[in-house]
Structure 1
Amino acid sequence: MSEVTAVTNTFAQQRLAHLESLAAELPDRGMVSRMLGGDDPVLWVWHPTSGKQTIVFASPSKDGWLFLWSPNGQESTDDPGHVADSVGRLLRPAPDAAPVA
């Protein structure tokens, strides 16, 4: 195995582990997720009541790993529970919104 392949595999494993840790936090906050992307996974997250959704990426950075999501979401992977709360604020229904049918 080449050095580049080993690094790529390590990054893929780390990325998957971070996304899985976030996915584990979502159900307790009323959200659902699905891993997409095979070798380059991303996490599709949605709120069944609001119908709102986003894609979460895990990306290496100079200071460790970051979760990134639209629009403008960016937080460290160090506390997946905190990130789940942030994504939840984005996706939860407005207080006066009717549930999605």
Structure 2
Amino acid sequence: MSKKIDRGILQGDSLSPLLFVLCMDPLSRKLNEKYTKVTLKTDAESHSTNHLLFIDDLKLLAKDSSTLSAMTGEAKEFLEVIGLEINKEKSATNDTCCEDTA
């Protein structure tokens, strides 16, 4: 049995993470230049960013829904240009307007 692959590389290929980083770098730079960063705190440190990239995931971080919407639109446009799309079944938004009291 054979299957035709129209684009991309096989899942699990060792080149996948490197190619993802190379493809996403222009978007990462654009988001950093254009949008305000939020502060993420851990027990020991704080880091400011407006997005996170890991393996094949993109997480957008914003202080309000209008900024998040603008960032999402920017990401969708960029991904379309490079032949990728957001999988709506695997995507979600979270409102973190309230402080964590734990």
On whether the aligned pair clears a TM of 0.5, the verdict is no
> Would you tell me which structure has more strand in proportion to its own residues?
1
TM range (shorter): 0.3 to 0.5
Flag the structure with more relative contact order, 1 or 2, with Cα contacts below 8 A and sequence separation at least 6: 1
